[in-house]
Structure 1
Amino acid sequence: MGRRGKKKGRPVSGWVVLDKPVGMGSTEAVAKVKWLFNADKAGHAGTLDPLASGMLPIALGEATKTVPYVMDGTKIYRFTVAWGEERNTDDLEGVPTQTSDQRPTRDQVEALLPNYLGVISQVPPAFSAIKIAGERAYDLARGGEAIEIPAREVEIDRLEIVSHSNGATELEVECGKGTYVRSLARDLGRDLGCFGHIATLRRLIVDPFTQDDFVTVEELQEARPAIGDEETAPDFSALDDYLVETAAALDCLPQVALTDDAAARVRLGNPVIVRGRDAPVEADEACATARGKLVAIGSVEAGQFKPKRVFTA
């Protein structure tokens, strides 16, 4: 029987709230951060196109178990729509498909924005990761195939003008999961009768993280220790200081504080009695911590916390 391969990387856990630069893809960013931290496992919470910059939350180690909760978080984007031209990718990368000499006034754009608030129906871009009959839409689109992507409901809480000129409008949007800002620019242009596409796009917020959590690739590179063949293990402490606690991703859930003894029981998969004046009585999902460290996600039923997913770090 062959020997089992040694697991690669450190068992480091937490969130890296990366300020992704323009030109770097999300997969490339995850690979870069995973290498910098020498982490054994990594994933991201919400793709950013290479032409977009801003917040890309990257989960390391045990934090990958909390990715769905960050994916569901509210997002804030700041973007510029260039008027007069619609493109097949709905951004600067594509080729023009429709043009117009018309340019909207600020008042015309402002008057249209209330139509995009609340729950709206939106067709994702043809160049997107949406799956059509098992194939990615962008693969079909690049192959020249005409595709129809069904509309879906998305939620927009806020849409405001930041600045306006004759040829472009800068806007800020606060929206829910699954919203495509490129589709928003495309649809605004069509409704205004002048067409439009995304010229710049920056994600400012992915709830629960804020811009105070931002870290750049350059900062991470500077903090990474030199790794050689020396006998002493490299010191990653300066780099690990940039990590946000895994539990931060679960601020949206009811919180259950455990004693060390209760935490030990929960880590073995056992239910424990919930104590404390502020403890939830019933909850379909709750987050259990001990000494500020994440222990488990579970439910609270009949005064007991019942673990469903346990965390080791």
Structure 2
Amino acid sequence: MQFKRVKRNIDGVLLLDKPLGISSNQALQMVKRLYQAAKAGHTGSLDPLASGLLPICLGEATKFSHFLLDADKSYRALVTLGSTTTTGDVEGEIMTQAPVTVTQSELEAILQDMVGDILQVPPMYSALKHEGKALYAYAREGVEIPRKPRPVTIHAIALERFDGKQFEMVVSCSKGTYIRTLAEDIGSRLGCGAHLGGLRRLTTAHFNLKNAVTIEQLDQMSQAERDAVLLQVDAAIEDFPIVTLDADSAFYLLQGQEVWKSGLSISGLFRLYSEQGVFLGLGEQTSRGSIAPRRLLRQAGE
């Protein structure tokens, strides 16, 4: 007789160092299994070619995962000059080749010229949907779907290394930025073509790769040790303002009612806590001045 594994209602944020060769969803399922978690979700896909920081939200933390999806991110990218590929990265077939006569000063000038608000055409080998089907599925069938340029922001680019043929750069950018497309655009500007040779995510919002754990490390931990590396449920929104409610206000808020707090004047969402420091959820001040619940924790009301 087979026994069904009991799922745990465990809540928190795991900073995972995703390895090469697996998808973000595969990494998520591995983490979910190790934690025996009833509910989990990741916060922004990394291709199998890419490694690095993948915050994973468990349980009630999934209610706030979209804030990380929308957050700025940074990457270390390896770019190969002199050739373009069908996928824009090292996994594709070579389409064009050209000699590379680029100097470091020319490369640095182009990199700095890419900083700011730019338009990017999403690559065909991406998870963006067209009529309910991922673009990469069309690409594998040899079908080209027209894509409109989308605005993204490159906050900074730092050249880490250049050997005349390959270079490494650290890119800080807005959500929705495709680093492979950035590499291709740089190659186009240089006149020799380029493709992405490797990618590692370093940061997501205020989270840093140096604080992440690997799947191998998790696998060697006891359940208690795994639980201990989880960040708090509100870790994804720790930059939001804090409002503390008295016991009566907290009680009524958790019933879904609006409550009042004198002297409050905050625009946008803020974190709500009880007088004992228990995180209750997110609230927002209404035009009348009251506090309206926007996203509450399940456990908070139990």
User: Is 1:295–2:280 an aligned residue pair?
Assistant: yes
* 1:29-57 alpha-carbon deviations (Å, 9 max, x no partner): 00000000000001111000111110001
Residue 201 of structure 2 contacts residue 209 of structure 2 at CA under 8 Å; is this kept in 1?
no
CA shift at 1:212, angstroms? 4.4
CA shift at 1:211, angstroms? 3.0
Write out aligned runs for 1:159-178 (5 A).
159-178=157-176
Residue 298 of structure 1 contacts residue 307 of structure 1 at CA under 8 Å; is this kept in 2?
yes
Q: Which residue is equivalent to 2:10? A: 12
1: CA distance between counterparts of 2:80 and 2:248? Answer: 59
2: CA distance between counterparts of 1:273 and 1:213? Answer: 39
Q: Which residue is equivalent to 1:113? A: 111
CA shift at 1:303, angstroms? 4.0
Residue 17 of structure 1 contacts residue 57 of structure 1 at CA under 8 Å; is this kept in 2?
yes
Change (3 A) 1:261 1:213: farther
Change (3 A) 1:261 1:8: farther
Q: Which residue is equivalent to 2:252? A: 265
Q: Which residue is equivalent to 1:36? A: 34
CA shift at 1:173, angstroms? 0.6
CA shift at 1:111, angstroms? 0.9
2: CA distance between counterparts of 1:292 and 1:199? Answer: 47
2: CA distance between counterparts of 1:221 and 1:256? Answer: 38
1: CA distance between counterparts of 2:123 and 2:277? Answer: 42
SS of 1:29's equivalent in the other structure is helix
Q: Which runs of 5+ in 2 are unaligned?
A: none
CA shift at 1:208, angstroms? 2.3
Write out aligned runs for 1:22-171 (5 A).
22-171=20-169
Q: Which residue is equivalent to 2:209? A: 211
2: CA distance between counterparts of 1:219 and 1:113? Answer: 37
Q: Which residue is equivalent to 1:227? A: none
Letter in 1 for 2:280: V
User: Is 1:307–2:293 an aligned residue pair?
Assistant: yes
- Give the TM-score normalised by the residue count of structure 1: 0.89
Change (3 A) 1:292 1:243: farther
SS of 2:84's equivalent in the other structure is strand
Letter in 1 for 2:22: M
CA shift at 1:222, angstroms? 1.2
Q: How many residues are treated as equivalent by the alignment? A: 294
Q: Which residue is equivalent to 2:265? A: 281
SS of 1:298's equivalent in the other structure is strand
* 1:186-229 alpha-carbon deviations (Å, 9 max, x no partner): 110011011111111100000121234311111211114xxxxx
User: Is 1:240–2:227 an aligned residue pair?
Assistant: yes
CA shift at 1:261, angstroms? 4.0
SS of 2:15's equivalent in the other structure is strand
Letter in 2 for 1:294: F
SS of 1:70's equivalent in the other structure is helix
2: CA distance between counterparts of 1:281 and 1:7? Answer: 48
SS of 2:65's equivalent in the other structure is helix
Letter in 1 for 2:228: D
Among all aligned residue pairs of Structure 1 and Structure 2, give the percentage whose two residues are the same amino acid. Answer: 37
1: CA distance between counterparts of 2:8 and 2:251? Answer: 23
SS of 2:110's equivalent in the other structure is helix
- Give the TM-score normalised by the residue count of structure 2: 0.92
Change (3 A) 1:103 1:44: farther
Q: Which moved more, 1:127-136 or 1:293-302?
A: 293-302
1: CA distance between counterparts of 2:116 and 2:273? Answer: 35
Q: Which runs of 5+ in 1 are unaligned?
A: 1-5, 225-235
Q: Which residue is equivalent to 2:238? A: 251
Letter in 2 for 1:51: L
2: CA distance between counterparts of 1:146 and 1:295? Answer: 48
Letter in 2 for 1:10: R
SS of 1:283's equivalent in the other structure is coil
